[in-house]
C-alpha cells in the first residue's frame, strides 16, 4: 500500500452515494460505469477462458475496479495478465505485485523469453522493434499459450481517431489479425460473443470513457494508482525535448549527460525509456486533473511509439497490438 | 468543458468545486445523419473544436494529415478530425460508425457519426440503436432528399423519438428565411407520414458556426434555440423509469452457498426491496430481498443501472431469464412466434426457414424466419412482397424460435424488444430485429403428448432408428448406394424407408424450384419428414444433394445425438459430369439449366461427416457394405 498516493477523499455524496427517494437521472459516470459492468459480465458469462490485460496504468486501474464491482460480492472470475517487457518502471512492478494480496485477484505475468535472449530492448532495438517483439508478440504468445478466447483491454475511443470506430468487441482471427472491414455491427447492448475455435476477441469496456472521465472516476472512487502519476522529484535526462526518467542503470548516458532531479510526473506509463515525463507541481489527483484541463497537450504527447507514422495505431492493431 | 479554464485563470481555479459540478452532469447520446456533402463531419468537427476538447497535439497531428488529404487548402479541415481509418481517408468517405465525445458546462455528449450512403444503412442503425436523439442534416441548397427520408425512417424505426432537423449551409442560400421555411414545411409533411412528432428545426451554418453555439447574426428572423440549446435540453433517456420493471439476468452470482444473486442491467422500470417479480419465460414468482451493488444495497434501482438482485425464494433462474414486475401491466410477452422488423446486415441474403441463432438480451435461441411479410422500401416507405432479404434491406417478418422467449414490443422497451440474428457457422451478426408483437398462434399450439412413444415403436421393431443422410453432387452415386443399403437392410429384416430427392420433388416438394430459398425449404421439409420417420422407428435413408452445410446441420439438430449419420459421397465433379446419368450437366453447361449444383450453384462439402465415401473408388455394393459395418459398429444394427 505504500505505493498508493495520498488522495483527497471524495466529497460526501460522491459516486458511492446512497440512493435518495427521488429518482434522479444517472450521472454520466454512473451511466458509463453501468455500461462497462454490463460488458464485463457479458464476457465472463459467455467465454470459455477470458483474461483481463493489466498494464498497471490508470485505465487498467479503472477497468479492474469496474470488474471487481461487476462480480461483487463474488470474486473476479478471470485472471489478470501483465505483459512484462522487463523495462517497466520499478515502482510499477512493485505495485503490480501487491495486487493479488490486496484485491484477491489472480495475476499472470508473461515475458517474451525469446525476445530477451535476442537482446531486444527499447534502447538498442528502437521503440518499433521493441514494442513489436516485447509487447505485440509477447501478448500473442501469452494468449496462445493459455488459450484465452477473450482479452479485456483498457483502450478508449477518445484516444485516437482510428479508435473512434473500434468496436467494444473487436474480433481477431486465429493469427490475431484485426480487419477493420470484418468487424461485427454492435447494436444496443447486444454483443455477439460467439467466436470460432482458435479465434479470439479483444474487449474494451472503457470504449466510451474519456480521459477526464477516467481521472474523475479514479478521484471519486478513490482508486489506488502508481504514484508516478503524481509530481515528485525524479532523476531525468532530456532527449529531443522529451524528459526520460533514469529508473535504473540500464539507460546509457551520453558523454557529459547527467541525470538531474526535476519535479515531474507521467501522463502515461509504459517502458521507462519510452515514457516521457512532464514537468509538474501536481502532487494530488485534483491538481493532476487541473493540469490536464489546463494543458493543451493530449496524453499521448508523451508516448513515443504513436508518433512513428500517420495511422500508426491502426497498423499496430492490424498486427495484434491493442 | 475546459472553456472557463482556457483564459489562464487556472491559478485561482477551484478544482474541487469543478469536480463536484462535473459529477452531476448527465449524458446525452445522439446520432448525426446526413449525406456525404451535407457537412456532417464539419458539424461534428465544429462541436468538438469549439468545446475545446481538441488538444494541441491532436491539432498538430491534424495539420500533418490535412496536408496530405485535405480538401480545404491550407486551412484546418474540420471534417478530417472525424474520419478515422486510413482507408476511409483515402476514399474520402466515412464507412463505419465513429463515436465522438464532447462536453459543455451542462452536459456530456457521445455522438455517433455514421455514413449516409444507402449501402451503410446497417451502420446508421448501429449508431441509432443507442441514441437518445437524432440530428438530421439537410443541405439548404438541396432540401429534403431521398437520403433525408431514408435516414429519418431508420432513426424512427430504431425508436428515436427526438428529432432535430438542422438545415445546414444557410450561408450558401443567403440566409434566406423562405428557403428554411419551405424545407421545414416539406419535412413536416414527411414526418407526419412517418409518425414522428415534435421535430425541432434549426437553420445553421456548420462551417461558420451560425446557430450552433450562439444565435446567428445573419439570421435575425430566427428567434428559436441554437443547436446546442436543443442538445442541452433534450431528454437523456426515454421514459423508461415509468414502465414496468424489466431486467434480463446476465450472470448468476453465487460466491458462497449462502448467497445467490441475479446480476443484470435494468432495462425498464424501477425496483424496490419487497417488490414481487416474476422470472420469465418460466413464470415463477418471488420477492425482492435486496438490490446489491458494490457500493452497497440500493433503496431503489432504476433503468440502466447494473445491479445484483437477491430474491426471497430459491427459484430456478438462469442467465437469459428476465426478471419482470409481477403484477404491473403490460406484462411481458412470452411466445415462440412473433412479428418483427428485420434489418439485414450481411452480403449473403436472409433465407426464410433457415436456422439462425437469435440473441435477445442475454438469451440465445435457435430461430428461423417463417415468412417475410414484405420489405419496406426505405426511400419511399412503400411496402412490397418479397421472398428474400438482401444487405441493408428492411422487412416485416414472422419469426419462430425453438422455445418460448420473453420480450416486449421494441417501441416500448428497447433492451427487451431488440434482437440480433447470428449465422450459426460463421458466427457473424447478420441481422438486427425489433419485435412488434407476439403472434397469438404461438401460445396456443401445444405438443400433444402421446402414449405410444418412439421408444415403444423402436422396441417393437427391434432396431434403433436413425437417419442416414447422403449428400453429394448430382451423379455422385448417392441414390445407387442408398438403394443398395436399403436392399441389405431389407434382407436383414430391418424397417427402413428411402427418401429420394427426385421422388420427393415430384410430390411433397412439387411447388419448390432451385433457388437458394427453395433449396433451403426443400431440405427443411425432408428433414422434418425424416424426423417423423425416426419417431416412427424407421431407419430413414435420405438421398438429397443437400448442398448447404446449414440445412444439413439443421436436420442433424432435429434428432437426438448419434441418430444423424451424415454420409458424404465424395465424387469429383469431372467424374459426376462424365457419368451424367440424367443428362443434367450437359444441359447446365449449355446454359439450359440454371442454379445447378457444382456448375453455377455452390456445394458446401461436410467438414466432419460420420462416413466419407470416395464415390469414384469402389462399386456401390462395396460402399454400401462400408455403411452397414459402420451401423453395426455403432450398435444401430
Residue B170 belongs to domain with CATH number: 3.40.50.300
* Preferred mutation among A24, A28, A29 to probe B, highest tally of B CBs within 10 A: A28
Q: Which of A268-272, B166-170, B361-365 has the lowest mean pLDDT?
A: A268-272
Q: Is the pLDDT of residue A316 over 80?
A: no
Side-chain half-sphere exposure of B33, counting CA atoms within 13 A: 33
How many angstroms separate the Cα of A177 from the Cα of each of A54, A128, B13, B106, B300? 21, 18, 47, 41, 45
Q: What would the mean pLDDT of A175-204 be, rounded to a whole number?
A: 82
- The dihedral sign for the CA sequence A268, A273, A276, A279: positive
What is the residue whose three cell numbers read 502508481?
Answer: A226
Strand partners of residue B376? B383, B394
| B122 with A194: Cβ contact below 8 A | no
- How many structural domains are present in chain B? 4
Cis before B281? omega within 30:
yes
Between B345 and A298, residue with greater pLDDT: B345
Side-chain half-sphere exposure of A60, counting CA atoms within 13 A: 21
| Residues of B whose CB is below 8 A from A216 | 19, 22-23
- Nearest residue on chain A to B94, judged by CA atoms? A165
Q: Do residues B339 and B398 make contact, with C-beta atoms less than 8 angstroms apart? A: yes
DSSP string, A39-55: HHHHHHHH-SSEEEE--
- The dihedral sign for the CA sequence A108, A82, A70, B360: negative
Span B181-208, pLDDT tens digits? 999 999 999 899 888 888 999 999 988 8
Same domain, B426 and B408: yes
Q: Is the pLDDT of residue B75 over 70?
A: no
DSSP state of B397: E
Same domain, B186 and B201: yes
Same domain, B478 and B526: yes
How many angstroms separate the Cα of A32 from the Cα of each of A57, A209, B108, B353, B545? 19, 7, 11, 39, 52
Query: Where does the pLDDT of residue B82 fall: very low under 50, low under 70, confident under 90, or very high at 90 and above?
Result: low
Residues 96-135 of B with CB under 8 A from A: 96-101, 103, 108, 110, 113, 122-123, 125-126, 129-130
Assigned domain for B1 exists:
no
Distance CA A206, CA B231 (A): 24
Q: Three-state SS string across B156-219, please?
A: HHCCCCCEEEEEECHHHHCCCHHHHHHHHHHHHHHHHHHCCCCCEEEECECCCCECCCECCCCC
| B55 with A14: Cβ contact below 8 A | no
Q: Do residues B503 and B493 make contact, with C-beta atoms less than 8 angstroms apart? A: no
Q: What would the mean pLDDT of B528-557 be, rounded to a whole number?
A: 91
Same domain, B34 and B62: yes
| B23 with A190: Cβ contact below 8 A | no
Span B514-523, pLDDT tens digits? 888 888 888 8
Residues spanned by the domain of B37:
10-233
Q: Do residues B443 and B470 make contact, with C-beta atoms less than 8 angstroms apart? A: no
- pLDDT > 70 in chain B, percent: 88
Query: Where does the pLDDT of residue A22 fall: very low under 50, low under 70, confident under 90, or very high at 90 and above?
Result: low
Query: Where does the pLDDT of residue B12 fall: very low under 50, low under 70, confident under 90, or very high at 90 and above?
Result: very low
pLDDT value at position B94? 45
How many angstroms separate the Cα of B158 from the Cα of each of B235, B343, B391? 17, 10, 17
Q: Which of A60-64, B20-24, B91-95, B580-584 has the lowest mean pLDDT?
A: B91-95
Q: What would the mean pLDDT of B575-590 be, rounded to a whole number?
A: 88
B72/chain A closest Cα distance in angstroms: 19
Q: Nearest CB to A310: which of B65, B304, B429?
A: B65
Which residues 6+ apart lie within 8 Å of B80 measured at CB?
B41, B45, B62, B65, B66, B69, B70, B89
Query: Where does the pLDDT of residue A123 fall: very low under 50, low under 70, confident under 90, or very high at 90 and above?
Result: confident
Active site residue B35: no
A96/chain B closest Cα distance in angstroms: 23
Q: Is the pLDDT of residue B560 over 60?
A: yes
DSSP state of B615: T
Nearest CA-CA partner of B401 in B361, B441, B364: B364
Q: Is the pLDDT of residue B97 over 90?
A: no
| B27 with A69: Cβ contact below 8 A | no
Query: Where does the pLDDT of residue A299 fall: very low under 50, low under 70, confident under 90, or very high at 90 and above?
Result: very low
Assigned domain for B289 exists:
yes
CA dihedral angle for residue B535, residue B540, residue B545, residue B551, rounded to 10 degrees: 20
Q: Do residues B136 and B166 make contact, with C-beta atoms less than 8 angstroms apart? A: yes
Q: Is the pLDDT of residue B86 over 50?
A: no
- pLDDT > 90 in chain B, percent: 44
- Nearest residue on chain A to B361, judged by CA atoms? A190
Inform me whether the C-beta atom of residue B420 falls under 8 Å from chain A C-beta atoms. yes
Assigned domain for B284 exists:
yes
Residues 249-288 of B with CB under 8 A from A: 250-251, 253-255, 259, 261, 263-265, 270
Q: Which of A226-235, B15-24, B411-420, B570-579 has the lowest mean pLDDT?
A: B15-24
Q: Which of A154-163, B274-283, B409-418 has the lowest mean pLDDT?
A: A154-163
Q: Do residues A104 and A132 make contact, with C-beta atoms less than 8 angstroms apart? A: no
pLDDT value at position B528? 92
Same domain, B512 and B413: no
Q: What is the mean pLDDT of chain A?
A: 82
Q: Do residues B114 and B126 make contact, with C-beta atoms less than 8 angstroms apart? A: yes
pLDDT value at position A304? 46
Q: Length of chain B in residues, anyone?
A: 637
What is the residue whose three cell numbers read 540500464?
Answer: A250
B611-614 sheet: strands from edge to edge: B496-500, B539-543, B466-471, B564-570, B611-614
Q: What is the mean pLDDT of chain B?
A: 84
Helix (H) or strand (E) holding A266: strand A260-266
Assigned domain for B206 exists:
yes
Q: Three-state SS string across B95-144, please?
A: CCCEEEEEECCCEEEEEEECCCCHHHHHHHHHHHHCCCEEEEEEECCCCC
A143/chain B closest Cα distance in angstroms: 21
Same domain, B280 and B190: no
* Preferred mutation among B131, B264, B295, B417 to probe A, highest tally of A CBs within 10 A: B295
Nearest CA-CA partner of A128 in A302, A276, A274, A318: A274
Residues 584-603 of B with CB under 8 A from A: none
Q: Nearest CB to B295: which of A16, A27, A295?
A: A16
| A185 with B236: Cβ contact below 8 A | no
Helix (H) or strand (E) holding B442: helix B440-444
What is the residue whose three cell numbers read 498538430?
Answer: B60
B115/chain A closest Cα distance in angstroms: 12
- Nearest residue on chain B to A69, judged by CA atoms? B294
Same domain, B417 and B466: no
Q: Nearest CB to A294: which of B10, B253, B420?
A: B10
- Nearest residue on chain B to A192, judged by CA atoms? B429
Distance CA B179, CA B221 (A): 12
Which CATH number characterizes residue B430's domain? 2.40.30.10
Span A73-105, pLDDT tens digits? 999 999 999 999 999 999 999 999 999 999 999
Q: Give the other-Cβ count within 10 Å of A154's Cβ.
A: 24
- Nearest residue on chain B to A310, judged by CA atoms? B65
**3 state DSSP class of B419:** strand
Same domain, B314 and B338: no
Inform me whether the C-beta atom of residue B14 falls under 8 Å from chain A C-beta atoms. no
Cell numbers standing for residue B580 = 451424367
Assigned domain for B5 exists:
no
How many angstroms separate the Cα of A68 from the Cα of each of A42, A218, B334? 14, 14, 34
- The dihedral sign for the CA sequence B450, B451, B454, B458: negative
Q: Is the pLDDT of residue A250 over 50?
A: yes
Assigned domain for B218 exists:
yes
| A192 with B294: Cβ contact below 8 A | no
Cell numbers standing for residue B496 = 427402413
pLDDT value at position A18? 38
Predicted TM-score (pTM) above 0.80? no
Q: Length of chain A in residues, anyone?
A: 322
| Residues of A whose CB is below 8 A from B81 | 161
| B96 with A180: Cβ contact below 8 A | yes
Alpha helices, H only, chain A:
28-46, 58-71, 90-97, 99-103, 113-117, 126-130, 138-146, 211-221, 285-294, 312-319
| B57 with A186: Cβ contact below 8 A | no
| Residues of B whose CB is below 8 A from A190 | 359-361, 418-420
Cell numbers standing for residue B58 = 491532436
* Preferred mutation among A8, A11, A19, A310 to probe B, highest tally of B CBs within 10 A: A19
Q: What would the mean pLDDT of B127-156 be, rounded to a whole number?
A: 91
Q: Which of A118-132, B35-49, B448-462, B501-515 has the lowest mean pLDDT?
A: B448-462
E strands, B462-586, where?
466-471, 496-500, 539-543, 564-570
| B419 with A190: Cβ contact below 8 A | yes
Q: Do residues A51 and A64 make contact, with C-beta atoms less than 8 angstroms apart? A: no
Q: Which of A90-104, A110-124, A159-173, B434-448 has the lowest mean pLDDT?
A: B434-448
Span B463-488, pLDDT tens digits? 889 999 999 999 999 999 999 999 98
Same domain, B168 and B301: no
Helix axes of B454-461 and B516-535: crossing angle, nearest 10 degrees: 70
B314/chain A closest Cα distance in angstroms: 18
| B250 with A72: Cβ contact below 8 A | no
Instruction: Answer with the one of B265, B299, B325 that is the final residue of a domain.
Output: B325
Assigned domain for B314 exists:
yes
pLDDT value at position B63? 45
Q: What would the mean pLDDT of B101-113 be, rounded to a whole number?
A: 86
DSSP state of B586: H
Inform me whether the C-beta atom of residue B86 falls under 8 Å from chain A C-beta atoms. yes
Q: What would the mean pLDDT of B597-606 be, rounded to a whole number?
A: 89
Instruction: Answer with the one of B325, B358, B387 that is the final residue of a domain.
Output: B325
Same domain, B337 and B250: no
Instruction: Answer with the one of B325, B350, B383 that is the final residue of a domain.
Output: B325
Strand partners of residue B28? B109
Assigned domain for B3 exists:
no
Cis before A73? omega within 30:
yes
Same domain, B254 and B121: no
Distance CA B350, CA B395 (A): 11
Helix (H) or strand (E) holding B247: strand B246-248
| A194 with B20: Cβ contact below 8 A | no
Inform me whether the C-beta atom of residue B74 falls under 8 Å from chain A C-beta atoms. no
Query: Where does the pLDDT of residue B237 fall: very low under 50, low under 70, confident under 90, or very high at 90 and above?
Result: low
| B265 with A34: Cβ contact below 8 A | yes
B13/chain A closest Cα distance in angstroms: 8
- Nearest residue on chain B to A163, judged by CA atoms? B84
Q: Nearest CB to A34: which of B10, B85, B304?
A: B304
Inform me whether the C-beta atom of residue B361 falls under 8 Å from chain A C-beta atoms. yes
Q: Nearest CB to A19: which of B56, B130, B299?
A: B299
Span A130-176, pLDDT tens digits? 899 999 999 999 999 999 999 999 989 887 666 777 789 988 777 77
Q: Do residues B414 and B160 make contact, with C-beta atoms less than 8 angstroms apart? A: no
Q: Is the pLDDT of residue A8 over 80?
A: no
Q: Nearest CB to A38: which of B18, B294, B306?
A: B306
Span B22-49, pLDDT tens digits? 778 888 999 998 876 777 878 888 887 7
Same domain, B419 and B358: yes
Between A301 and A178, residue with greater pLDDT: A178
| Residues of A whose CB is below 8 A from B21 | none
| Residues of B whose CB is below 8 A from A31 | 26-27, 304
Cell numbers standing for residue B247 = 431486467
Q: What would the mean pLDDT of B246-260 be, rounded to a whole number?
A: 94
Q: What would the mean pLDDT of B440-463 be, rounded to a whole number?
A: 63
| Residues of B whose CB is below 8 A from A23 | 241, 270, 300, 302
Which residue of the set B66, B216, B368, B546 is catalytic?
B546
Cell numbers standing for residue B388 = 428474400
Query: Where does the pLDDT of residue B83 fall: very low under 50, low under 70, confident under 90, or very high at 90 and above?
Result: low
Q: Is the pLDDT of residue B532 over 80?
A: yes
| Residues of B whose CB is below 8 A from A41 | 250-251, 263-264, 306
Amino acid at each position: 500500500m505504500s505505493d498508493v498516493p495520498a488522495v483527497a477523499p471524495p466529497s460526501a455524496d460522491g459516486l458511492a452515494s446512497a440512493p435518495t427517494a427521488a429518482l434522479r437521472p444517472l450521472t454520466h459516470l454512473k451511466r458509463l460505469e453501468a455500461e462497462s459492468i454490463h460488458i464485463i459480465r457479458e464476457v465472463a458469462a459467455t467465454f470459455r477462458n477470458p483474461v483481463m490485460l493489466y498494464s498497471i496504468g490508470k485505465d487498467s486501474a479503472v477497468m479492474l475496479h469496474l470488474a471487481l464491482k461487476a462480480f461483487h460480492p463474488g470474486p473476479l472470475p478471470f485472471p489478470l495478465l501483465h505483459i512484462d517487457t522487463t523495462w517497466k518502471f520499478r515502482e510499477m512492478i512493485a505495485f503490480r505485485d501487491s495486487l493479488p494480496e490486496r484485491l484477491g485477484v489472480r495475476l499472470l505475468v508473461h515475458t517474451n523469453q525469446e525476445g530477451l535472449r535476442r537482446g531486444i530492448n527499447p534502447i538498442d532495438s528502437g521503440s518499433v522493434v521493441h514494442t513489436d517483439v516485447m509487447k505485440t508478440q509477447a501478448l500473442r504468445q501469452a494468449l496462445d499459450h493459455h488459450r484465452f478466447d477473450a482479452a479485456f483491454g483498457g483502450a478508449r475511443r477518445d484516444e485516437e481517431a482510428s479508435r473512434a470506430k473500434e468496436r467494444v468487441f473487436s474480433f481477431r482471427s486465429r493469427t490475431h489479425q484485426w480487419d477493420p472491414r470484418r468487424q461485427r455491427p454492435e447494436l444496443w447492448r447486444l454483443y455477439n460473443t460467439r467466436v470460432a475455435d482458435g479465434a479470439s476477441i479483444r474487449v474494451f469496456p472503457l470504449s466510451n470513457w474519456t480521459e477526464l472521465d477516467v481521472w474523475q472516476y479514479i478521484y471519486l472512487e478513490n482508486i489506488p494508482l502508481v504514484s508516478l502519476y503524481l509530481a515528485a522529484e525524479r532523476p531525468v535526462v532530456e532527449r529531443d525535448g522529451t524528459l526520460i526518467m533514469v529508473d535504473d542503470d540500464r539507460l546509457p548516458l551520453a558523454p557529459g549527460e547527467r541525470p538531474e532531479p526535476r519535479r515531474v510526473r507521467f501522463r502515461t506509463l509504459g517502458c521507462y525509456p519510452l515514457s516521457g515525463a512532464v514537468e509538474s507541481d501536481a502532487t494530488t489527483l485534483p491538481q493532476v486533473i487541473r493540469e490536464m484541463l489546463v494543458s493543451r497537450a493530449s496524453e499521448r504527447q508523451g508516448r513515443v511509439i504513436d508518433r512513428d507514422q500517420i495511422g500508426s495505431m491502426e497498423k499496430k492493431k492490424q498486427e495484434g497490438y491493442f | 468543458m475546459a472553456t472557463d479554464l482556457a483564459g489562464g485563470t487556472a491559478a485561482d481555479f477551484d478544482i474541487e468545486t469543478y469536480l463536484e459540478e462535473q459529477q452531476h452532469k448527465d449524458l446525452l447520446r445522439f446520432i448525426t445523419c446526413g449525406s456525404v456533402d451535407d457537412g456532417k463531419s464539419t458539424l461534428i468537427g465544429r462541436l468538438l473544436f469549439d468545446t475545446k476538447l481538441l488538444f494541441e497535439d491532436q491539432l498538430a497531428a491534424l495539420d500533418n494529415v490535412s496536408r496530405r488529404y485535405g480538401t480545404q487548402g491550407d486551412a484546418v479541415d474540420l471534417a478530417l478530425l472525424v474520419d478515422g481509418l486510413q482507408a476511409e481517408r483515402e476514399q474520402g468517405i466515412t464507412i463505419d460508425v465513429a463515436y465522438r465525445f464532447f462536453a459543455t458546462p451542462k452536459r456530456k455528449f457521445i455522438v455517433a457519426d455514421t455514413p449516409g450512403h444507402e449501402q451503410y444503412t446497417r451502420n446508421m442503425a448501429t449508431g441509432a440503436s443507442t441514441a437518445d436523439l437524432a440530428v438530421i442534416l439537410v443541405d439548404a441548397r438541396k432540401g429534403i432528399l431521398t437520403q433525408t427520408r431514408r435516414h429519418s425512417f431508420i432513426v424512427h424505426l430504431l425508436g428515436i423519438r427526438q428529432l432535430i432537423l438542422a438545415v445546414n449551409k444557410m450561408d450558401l442560400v443567403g440566409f434566406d428565411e423562405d428557403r428554411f421555411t419551405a424545407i421545414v414545411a416539406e419535412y413536416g409533411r414527411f414526418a407526419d407520414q412517418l409518425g414522428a412528432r415534435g421535430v425541432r428545426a434549426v437553420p445553421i451554418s456548420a462551417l461558420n458556426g451560425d446557430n450552433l453555439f450562439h444565435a446567428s447574426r445573419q439570421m435575425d428572423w430566427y428567434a428559436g434555440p441554437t443547436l446546442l440549446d436543443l442538445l442541452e435540453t433534450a431528454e437523456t433517456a426515454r421514459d423508461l423509469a415509468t414502465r414496468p420493471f424489466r431486467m434480463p439476468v446476465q450472470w448468476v452470482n453465487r460466491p458462497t452457498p449462502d448467497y445467490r444473486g441475479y446480476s443484470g442491467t435494468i432495462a425498464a422500470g424501477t425496483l424496490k426491496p419487497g417488490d414481487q417479480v416474476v422470472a420469465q419465460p418460466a413464470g415463477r414468482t418471488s420477492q425482492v430481498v435486496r438490490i446489491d451493488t458494490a457500493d452497497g444495497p440500493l433503496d431503489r434501482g432504476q433503468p440502466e443501472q447494473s445491479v445484483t438482485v437477491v430474491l426471497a425464494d430459491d427459484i430456478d433462474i438462469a442467465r437469459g431469464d428476465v426478471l419482470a414486475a409481477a403484477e404491473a401491466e403490460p406484462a411481458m410477452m412470452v411466445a415462440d412466434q412473433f412479428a418483427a422488423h428485420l434489418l439485414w446486415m450481411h452480403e449473403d441474403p436472409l433465407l426464410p426457414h433457415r436456422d439462425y441463432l437469435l440473441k435477445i438480451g442475454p438469451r440465445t435461441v435457435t430461430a428461423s424466419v417463417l415468412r417475410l411479410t414484405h420489405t419496406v422500401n426505405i426511400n419511399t416507405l412503400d411496402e412490397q412482397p418479397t421472398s428474400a432479404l438482401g444487405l441493408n434491406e428492411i422487412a416485416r417478418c414472422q419469426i419462430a424460435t425453438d422455445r418460448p422467449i420473453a420480450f416486449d414490443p421494441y417501441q416500448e422497451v428497447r433492451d427487451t424488444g431488440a434482437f440480433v440474428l447470428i449465422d450459426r457457422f460463421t458466427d457473424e451478426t447478420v441481422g438486427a430485429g425489433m419485435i412488434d408483437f407476439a403472434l397469438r398462434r404461438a401460445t396456443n399450439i401445444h405438443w400433444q403428448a402421446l402414449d405410444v412413444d418412439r421408444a415403444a415403436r423402436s422396441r417393437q421393431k427391434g432396431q434403433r432408428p436413425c437417419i442416414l443422410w447422403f449428400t453429394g453432387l448430382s451423379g455422385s452415386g448417392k441414390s445407387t448406394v442408398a438403394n443398395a443399403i436399403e436392399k441389405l437392410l431389407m434382407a436383414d429384416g430391418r424397417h427402413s424407408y428411402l427418401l429420394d430427392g427426385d421422388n420427393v420433388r415430384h410430390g411433397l416438394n412439387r411447388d419448390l424450384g432451385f433457388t437458394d430459398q427453395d433449396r433451403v425449404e426443400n431440405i427443411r421439409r425432408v428433414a422434418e419428414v425424416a424426423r417423423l420417420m425416426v419417431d416412427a422407428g424407421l431407419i430413414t435413408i435420405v438421398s438429397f444433394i443437400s448442398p448447404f452445410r446449414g440445412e444439413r446441420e439443421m436436420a442433424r439438430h432435429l434428432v437426438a445425438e448419434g441418430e444423424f449419420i451424415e454420409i458424404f459421397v465424395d465424387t469429383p465433379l469431372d467424374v459426376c459430369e462424365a457419368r451424367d446419368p440424367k443428362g443434367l450437366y450437359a444441359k447446365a453447361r449449355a446454359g439450359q439449366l440454371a442454379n445447378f449444383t457444382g456448375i453455377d450453384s455452390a456445394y458446401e462439402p461436410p467438414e466432419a461427416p460420420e462416413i466419407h465415401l470416395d464415390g469414384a473408388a469402389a462399386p456401390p455394393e462395396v460402399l454400401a457394405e462400408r455403411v452397414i459395418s459402420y451401423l453395426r459398429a455403432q450398435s444401430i444394427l
